Amino acid sequence: MEVVKITPRGYCHGVVEAIRALRVASEEHPDEPVAMLGYLVHNEHVTREFADRGVRLVDAPSRLEALDQVDSGTVVLTAHGVSPEVKERALAKGLNVVDATCTDVIRTHDLVRRLSMDGYEIVYIGRRGHPEPEGVGGEAPEALHLVETLADVEGLELTGEKLAVTTQTTLSVWDTKAIIERLRERFPRIEVHNEICNATQERQQAAVEAAAACDVVVVVGSSRSSNTKRLVQVVQELAHRPAYLVDTAADLQEEWFSGARRVGVTSGASTPSQITRDVIRTLEQMAEPRPTSVTADPVPSTPGSGSPAEE
């Protein structure tokens, strides 16, 4: 069995910068409490690493609710971004605010704010319950309509003269294509602003293309991560190959690879490289031929005969 390492995979630039920002904050303020407002990135291994450094995870259904649990010290805003109200309240509480928002997400915040100021009604394609739409929506709560499905589009009643649509950065062209087409049918004058992160699209495209030459694909990452779960889905839906999500090598099951000649491995944008390397090593060990021991049947002896050595 050959193990195919699909590239690109693993950390995107936004995750790298967020981890660097939190590491610096924890080192520069060793004598005061440091809290991350929600999961810095959607991977428990990263969260545990910083917990060992004394960084507290403060999680709640919304970032404002989480902020209520932070009274002093440094608060780190995650890569997914937050609403202006969260930033304002954090500063009003006298907290030292470290903003680790991904630059791609910042660009979407700027776009939505500018469109709103110019009088646009905005349709935002995103995942309900994900922190990124929560933050972006806070830029223009009266003007923004969150949609996740085609059914949501059918329920829209847009009356403004200026209409625009944009997207959560961690979706892909495949995720948004049908929704944007339907929006154009219903609202022909709507402007499309594609804010999809290149890293997300590139990883999905590479996984689908590589999967075509593989029998099975393993995706390494957390079930909390939407971009990681979507890697599994695009391989299954577009490449028509079995794909499995694993958090660590311990999750691998040998029966997945029965009869497989090539196994592809990729990982989500928030998955630490060492975790993926461990999965690859384990798969390579599984692929190695296993030694077999053969026990020869004993040679029957005849009375009075000696062993060959004795003879």
pTM metric for this prediction: 0.84
Q: Which of 121, 132, 134, 195 is catalytic?
A: 132
Other C-beta atoms lying within 10 Å of the C-beta of residue 213:
13
CB 37, CB 74: distance < 8 Å: no
Give the model's pLDDT for residue 290: 52
Write out pLDDT tens, residues 141-155. 999 999 999 999 999
CB 81, CB 135: distance < 8 Å: yes
Give the model's pLDDT for residue 244: 98
| Residue 301 pLDDT exceeds 80 | no
Residues in the chain: 311
Give the model's pLDDT for residue 302: 40
Q: How large is the average pLDDT for residues 238-255?
A: 96
Give the model's pLDDT for residue 304: 41
What is the H or E stretch that residue 99 is in?
strand 96-99
Return the amino acid letter for 278.
D
Q: pLDDT category, 294, cuts 50, 70, 90? A: very low
Same fold, 2-9+198-287 and 104-192: yes
Q: How is residue 143 written in tokens?
A: 């003007």
Q: Where are the domains of the chain?
A: 2-9+198-287, 13-101, 104-192
Q: How large is the average pLDDT for residues 299-311?
A: 37
Could you tell me which of 70, 67, 25 has the C-alpha nearest to residue 50? 25
CB 167, CB 176: distance < 8 Å: yes
Q: 13-101 belongs to which CATH class?
A: alpha beta
Q: 2-9+198-287 belongs to which CATH class?
A: alpha beta
- Lowest-confidence pick of 33-47, 169-183, 287-301: 287-301
Q: How large is the average pLDDT for residues 241-260?
A: 96
Give the model's pLDDT for residue 83: 97
Give the model's pLDDT for residue 281: 97
CB 183, CB 123: distance < 8 Å: yes
Q: How is residue 310 written in tokens?
A: 């004795």
Report the alpha-carbon distance of residue 86 to residue 138 in Å, rounded.
9
State whether CATH 3.40.50.2300 applies to domain 104-192. Answer: no
Q: How large is the average pLDDT for residues 191-208?
A: 92
Active site residue 132: yes
What is the H or E stretch that residue 281 is in?
helix 273-287
